[in-house]
Structure 1
Amino acid sequence: MIRVLLVDDQQLIRAGLRMLLDAEDGMTVVGEAGDGRAAVEQAARLVPDVIVMDLRMPGVDGITATSRITAQRPAARILVLTTFGDDDHLYPALQAGACGFLLKDAPPAELLAGIRQAASGESPFSQEVLRRLVRRAVDARPEPPHRVEGLTTREQDVLDLVGEGLTNAEIADRLHIGVTTVKTHITALMTKTASPNRVRLALAAHRPHD
């Protein structure tokens, strides 16, 4: 059972999230907080598996709350859920210790999947956010793609396109294969390149030869 703490200053949003999560098998909401100060207190008291964190709140904001929670418990899994997907919110949240970043207009299925991913140690990101992370990471390391040892030709093709910041659907369309097949290749690539998430995998496409 994944125990979730909801943090948002809007009661209506918290109520909607609670209904969604409590109706899902394997998830339960163990607490709610309407501001960052309460979030820090409840995180310490309840020790939830995943904290769904809003960013803009009165008093102590979500970024500050995230930083305080991870300072107390570095292993805390904090999934940002916000309306604001710009870099001014994204990078400070990640630097504060958030493990993932979803936008509030994400489909319910994406949020539920993101919570499961966060609980299992992965880093869930909305596609728009992921694309920006990949682009920025690649721009910071502009080496051209290279061959990674032990990959099939198709896996290398998929890796190169991940390195360009393409989504699974875009990769499938480019290579004329199914999205499920793309996901299978990406799972194999993460194992072969020891990449814990898609951003690291994108960087693997641009890693220089040893």
Structure 2
Amino acid sequence: MQSPITVVVIDGHTLTRYGLFRLVSADTGITVVGECGLASEAPALVASSRPDVVVLDVALPDADGLQLARELRDRHAELGIVVLTAQAEDDVLFRALETGVSAFVHKTAPNTEVLGAIRHAAVAAASFTATGLAHALARRAQVAAEPVGFPAGGMLLSPREFEVLSLLATGLSVPAIAGTMFVSLSTAKTYVSRVYEKLGAANRASAIMTAMRLGLIKPELSVMA
């Protein structure tokens, strides 16, 4: 029999933590092994309980939840991280994408979506999923007032760079891209930097949006639940 997915819940609202505990407890394949309400308590709790997945709020009483997510990702590469939010802004979603979390879920989402995000994070910690991301990327691309400038010849991606762009669009982290392409981490970082440079992008979200505008990738192929 397969062991249940272990979860730590980090949320400043007692009722939310209780609700998540009740939701998860109803699923025999998932179990809560710890919970806390402050970011300052989270690192020690995660280190001691060693969960498969952490579910945390974007807005914690004592810190930015996405900053905590970044710290947890840096310390625990294999940890699944699900971010819950009451903020529907696209910018929050893009920040989560850049932070390296596994899933981004609105607090009003159906129970099945929350549980699905936890299961995704448990088996694919390095891959990002979020309902509506493709639409958010399309909205961001539509409001871009000016065309992006490119270095001379910069729009020409090599086959290897196009492969990296495609993997970035699926939500894979840079270490996961390195593993998929069977190259070193430093080589993968070099490819990513070249893609950003040629697309005139500063980060993953910007690169994906630009690639969509140029027709290099299709919206339905970019990161989405």
- Provide the TM-score with structure 1 as the length reference: 0.65
Whether contact under 8 Å (2:79, 2:122) holds in the other structure is no
* SS of match in other structure, 2:129: coil
Indicate how the Cα distance of structure 1 residues 87 and 164 shifts in structure 2: closer, same or farther if over 3 A, else same.
closer
Which range is displaced more, 114-123 or 84-93? 84-93
- The residue type equivalent to 1:140 in the other structure is T
- The residue type equivalent to 1:16 in the other structure is G
Counterpart CA distance in 2 for 1:94 and 1:38 is 24
Counterpart CA distance in 1 for 2:99 and 2:78 is 13
Counterpart CA distance in 2 for 1:47 and 1:135 is 38
Counterpart CA distance in 1 for 2:112 and 2:84 is 14
- Provide the TM-score with structure 2 as the length reference: 0.61
Q: Residue 124 of structure 1 is aligned with which of 124, 129, 144?
A: 129
Indicate how the Cα distance of structure 1 residues 117 and 35 shifts in structure 2: closer, same or farther if over 3 A, else same.
same
Q: Which residue of 1 aligns with 2:175?
A: none
Give the CA deviation at 1:26.
Answer: 0.7
Q: Which residue of 2 aligns with 1:8?
A: 11
Counterpart CA distance in 2 for 1:134 and 1:53 is 27
Indicate how the Cα distance of structure 1 residues 133 and 35 shifts in structure 2: closer, same or farther if over 3 A, else same.
farther
Counterpart mapping for 1:103-182 below 5 A: 103-121=106-124, 122-126=127-131, 128-133=132-137, 136=140, 138-141=208-211, 142-144=213-215, 163-165=218-220
- The residue type equivalent to 2:90 in the other structure is D
- Unaligned residue ranges in structure 2 (runs of 5+): 141-204
- The residue type equivalent to 2:51 in the other structure is P
Is 1:62 the equivalent of 2:85?
Answer: no
Indicate how the Cα distance of structure 1 residues 15 and 131 shifts in structure 2: closer, same or farther if over 3 A, else same.
same
* SS of match in other structure, 1:4: strand
Counterpart CA distance in 2 for 1:18 and 1:144 is 44
Superposed CA RMSD: 2.2
Question: Number of residue pairs matched?
Answer: 152
Q: Which residue of 2 aligns with 1:193?
A: none
Counterpart CA distance in 1 for 2:223 and 2:71 is 26
Give the CA deviation at 1:130.
Answer: 4.2
Q: Which residue of 2 aligns with 1:74?
A: 77
* SS of match in other structure, 1:84: coil
Counterpart CA distance in 2 for 1:41 and 1:29 is 16
1:94-150, CA deviations, whole angstroms, 9 ceiling, x for partnerless residues?
322211101001000111111111111053312x3442146655531123368xxxx
- The residue type equivalent to 1:123 in the other structure is F
Q: Which residue of 1 aligns with 2:50?
A: 47
Counterpart CA distance in 2 for 1:133 and 1:42 is 35
Give the CA deviation at 1:31.
Answer: 0.6
Which range is displaced more, 50-59 or 86-95? 86-95
% of aligned pairs identical? 33
Give the CA deviation at 1:72.
Answer: 1.1
Indicate how the Cα distance of structure 1 residues 105 and 84 shifts in structure 2: closer, same or farther if over 3 A, else same.
same
1:12-63, CA deviations, whole angstroms, 9 ceiling, x for partnerless residues?
0100110010110210001111021112221122121111110111112211
Whether contact under 8 Å (1:135, 1:164) holds in the other structure is no
Q: Which residue of 2 aligns with 1:102?
A: 105
Whether contact under 8 Å (1:134, 1:199) holds in the other structure is no
Counterpart CA distance in 1 for 2:44 and 2:137 is 31
Give the CA deviation at 1:89.
Answer: 1.9
